[in-house]
């Protein structure tokens, strides 16, 4: 007998999201380079705000996040009325799918794209549509060919994860311009801050009625554990998302810490330049060992091995030394290892260990 209590169609097809590993059995003092976290943690200003926030913890939080939205608006030169804040940018992705995509609708994303697009689309009852990339780079023409009357959302992370590659502003604009009229382009800017001078697509949002940008405090701000992200879009779309957002989705603590973090742009600038320096160093060191990677614009590199077997063996070798990187088979990159850019000593240790691994064969 089948159980008469059943979830809506599609929900049992969702594979649980697996975060980056944080421990290795039997190994103490691991270095976690598997979740694109900031090796320096959050700014001191954010930590101070966290401690201060304890005094307000008996109060319900602001439901409209006005103070945080205005801080984000001030720092980025954006209209605060068209910003929405969520429990990570994951929640913004989820709200977009819930509000705009349902049964018989299609949600488009790229081959090696972020797993949450598929999960949120499926949870909404919509059909996920995966589009091939060209040599690990988003292919605008392929995306446009995949769109049709049923396409409601197109997700593109730029820079992309786990490839680290990026397409130009002109290509993004061509994509937005070419979409069917009922479709929204969602530009996921989780790694935008790592690209010097890049606005994450904010100017394109301002010029168009079919583009939404998502951003996060989880990556350069070093606040992945706090869970705060935000979106910026046309007024009509932000209004729709707010109607289905839980009114108390963000605690006082989340709002206050994120506000302190966004106001500390000196910290962001230091992290960006340190990341760029060590990313360049690590990519070069690995290339000299015969492990190539595409030029990354984010805070990780996708190291490519000769085969899935070699990538797996290297992963196990690194783990035995307490170095945790990310297998990316679930992103259809079985011969790759995604390595978050750590501090200088972590980068040196990873390069040294991969050198030992390569030398053993
Ligand atoms: C890390 C990441 C996010 C951020 O998720 P949060 O929910 O904000 O922590 C979003 N998109 C991509 C592509 C990411 O890699």
Reported as a single tens digit per residue, the pLDDT across 112-147 is 999 999 999 999 999 999 999 999 999 999 999 999
Cβ of 161 closer than 6 Å to ligand 1, yes or no, is yes
- With a 6 Å cutoff on the Cβ, whether 138 touches ligand 1 is no
Residue with tokens 């976690």: 32
Q: Please state the atom number of ligand 1 nearest to the C-alpha of residue 224.
A: 9
CATH of 11-41+266-360, one of 3.90.1150.10, 3.40.50.10330, 3.30.1240.10, 3.40.50.2300: 3.90.1150.10
Rounded to 10 degrees, what is the CA torsion of 9, 228, 230, 82?
Answer: 110
Instruction: Collapse the DSSP code of 212 into the 3-class scheme (helix H, G, I; strand E, B; otherwise coil) and give the result.
Output: strand
Question: Range(s) for CATH 3.90.1150.10 in the chain?
Answer: 11-41+266-360
- Gap between the Cα atoms of 23 and 21, Å rounded: 6
Residue 300 CB less than 6 A away from ligand 1: no
Question: Three-class SS of residue 213?
Answer: strand
What CA–CA distances, in Å, run from 243 to 147, 187, 258, 273, 329?
Answer: 27, 21, 23, 39, 37
- Contact criterion met (CB below 8 Å) for 336 and 304: yes
Ligand 1 contact, 113 CB (< 6 A): no
Single pTM value for the model: 0.96
Protein residue with its CA nearest to atom 14 in ligand 1: 190
- The pLDDT tens digits for 198-210 are 999 999 999 999 9
Judged by DSSP in three states, 107 sits in strand
Task: Read off the pLDDT band of 2 (50, 70, 90).
Answer: confident
| Range name among 14-18, 49-53, 250-254, 345-349 with the lowest pLDDT average | 14-18
- CATH 3.40.640.10 in the chain: give the residue spans: 44-264
Mean pLDDT of all residues belonging to the chain: 96
Q: What residues form DSSP beta bridges with 154? A: 108, 185
CATH topology of domain 44-264: 3.40.640
| The predicted structure's pLDDT at residue 1 | 61
pLDDT average, residue stretch 306-334:
96
Tokens 């690995």 belong to: 286
């Amino acid at each position: 007998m089948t159980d008469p209590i059943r979830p809506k169609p599609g929900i049992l097809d969702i594979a649980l999201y697996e975060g980056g590993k944080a421990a290795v059995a039997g190994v103490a003092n691991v270095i976690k380079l598997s979740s694109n976290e900031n090796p320096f943690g959050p700014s001191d200003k954010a930590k101070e705000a966290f401690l201060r926030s304890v005094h307000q913890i008996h109060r319900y939080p602001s439901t409209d996040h006005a103070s945080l939205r205005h801080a984000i608006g001030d720092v980025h030169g954006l209209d605060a009325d068209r910003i929405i804040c969520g429990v990570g940018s994951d929640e913004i992705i989820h709200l977009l799918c819930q509000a705009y995509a349902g049964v018989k609708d299609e949600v488009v994303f790229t081959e090696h794209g972020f797993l949450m697009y598929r999960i949120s689309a499926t949870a909404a009852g919509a059909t996920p549509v995966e589009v091939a990339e060209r040599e690990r780079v988003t292919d605008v023409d392929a995306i446009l060919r995949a769109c049709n009357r049923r396409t409601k959302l197109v997700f593109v992370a730029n820079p992309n994860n786990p490839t680290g590659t990026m397409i130009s502003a002109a290509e993004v604009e061509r994509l937005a311009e070419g979409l069917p009229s009922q479709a929204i382009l969602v530009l996921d800017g989780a790694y935008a801050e790592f690209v010097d001078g890049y606005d994450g697509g904010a100017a394109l949002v301002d010029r168009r009625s079919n583009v939404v940008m998502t951003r996060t405090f989880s990556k350069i701000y070093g606040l992945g554990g706090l869970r705060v992200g935000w979106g910026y879009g046309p007024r009509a779309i932000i209004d729709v998302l707010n109607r289905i957002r839980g009114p108390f989705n963000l605690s006082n603590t989340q709002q206050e810490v994120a506000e302190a973090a966004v106001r500390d742009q000196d910290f962001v600038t230091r992290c960006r330049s340190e990341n760029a320096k060590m990313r360049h160093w690590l990519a070069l060191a690995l290339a000299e060992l015969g492990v190539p990677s595409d030029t990354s614009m984010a805070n990780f590199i996708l190291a490519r091995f000769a085969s899935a077997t070699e990538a797996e063996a290297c992963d196990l070798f690194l783990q035995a030394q307490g170095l945790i990187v990310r297998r990316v088979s679930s992103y259809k990159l079985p011969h790759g290892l995604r390595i978050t850019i750590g501090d200088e000593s972590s980068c040196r240790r990873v390069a040294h260990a991969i050198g030992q691994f390569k030398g053993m064969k």
